[in-house]
Amino acid sequence: MNETTMMGGSPMEKIDGARIRRLREEKGLTQLYMATAVGVTADTISRWENRRYPSIKKENALKLAEALEVPLLEILEQQVPEDFPTPDQQDESSPPVQVMVTKDRKWLSYGVLTLLVVFLLAFLFWQSSTQEQPILISARRLLPDHIPGGQKFPVMISVTFPTEMKPFSFMLKEKLPDGCTAVAADPPFSSYDRKNGIIKWINKTDDGIDRFSYQVQVSPKLKNGGLFTFQGSITPGKVKGAKNETAGPNNISINPYHWADVNLDTMIDDEEILAVYDTYSIIEDLVDMNLVEEIWSGQGYRFDQNSLKYVVIP
């Protein structure tokens, strides 16, 4: 069991930084995303992963595990109890443990082993004769937590797949919530059913594209406090029925705050604007960077519900 200490009255947990980094990379998550989910800076996430801070507050450890979608124990440092004897510490005077196997048990063991060998050979034969092999491909969505009615915001989807496989086609699909309209995309949509709010990309893994982004316009009729949900999936072309649901955040609420104002304090501070540049600079055509910089340069902002515009405080 991981050892819990106390620091300033707060319970602490010893975390396994290398395991946290591996889980994050396997799920295609950035340090910035983890920092936003936990409520710390990306530099802090980096320090945790590099064991600069081997012990952290338990509440932060719980948020880390939740963001990684794993139990808390999976990111904790696994420690061997101090009183657990090592091979060198075992009592040499103790007689070695002997296992008595009867003849009947020997024959039973041989029979089980034979069945396992037959099963393994049959499985290998079936696998080698199968033309279509399973393809592991996944997609993860990143979108803001909130947006006022009548405004636009960016959505990013990262796609991961085994690079050692031969090129194959796949289809990425997104179902927009009612009241939302896609107005631009990078790369462009392969198809867009505006009536049903369904957008699709058909692509190939050999073109180097592993990120798909689009901009969403929210209806001005949506009232504050509302919550709507995105849905999506990714399907490889070589395996019938091998569709995977898009992971990551899928809910966004209607609130009178700019989507880059993460802490809802009617300002865009230094850390928040740096997060925007780190995450969205590669799709700046889908982000109103001029407005973000204008709010950041001012003393704050408010959202005018009548004009549906941000009013920057100089």
Q: pLDDT by residue (tens digit) across 71-118?
A: 988 889 875 554 555 544 544 444 554 444 455 555 566 677 777 877
User: Domain segments of the chain: what residues?
Assistant: 4-75, 99-130, 138-313
Contact 68, 23 (CB under 8 A): yes
The burial of 239, by beta-carbon neighbours within 10 Å (0-12 exposed, 13-18 middle, 19 or more buried), is given as middle
CATH number belonging to domain 4-75: 1.10.260.40
- Amino acid 116: pLDDT: 80
| Structural tokens at position 303 | 């959202």
Q: Calculate ∠ Cα 267-269-273, nearest 5°.
A: 110
In what helix (H) or strand (E) does residue 57 lie, and over which residues does it extend? strand 55-57
pLDDT tens-place string over residues 120-177: 877 776 555 544 555 678 899 999 999 999 999 999 999 988 776 678 788 999 999 9
| Structural tokens at position 246 | 């898009």
Contact 214, 155 (CB under 8 A): yes
The span from the CA of 299 to the CA of 314, in Å, is 6
pLDDT tens-place string over residues 28-43: 888 888 888 888 898 8
Task: Report if pTM > 0.85.
Answer: no
pLDDT tens-place string over residues 240-299: 557 889 999 999 999 999 999 999 999 999 999 999 999 998 898 899 999 999 999 999
- Sheet with 180-186: list strands edge to edge: 138-142, 152-160, 211-218, 180-186
Per DSSP bridges, beta strands 169-175 and 191-193 are: unpaired
**219 pLDDT higher than 70:** yes
CATH class of 138-313: mainly beta
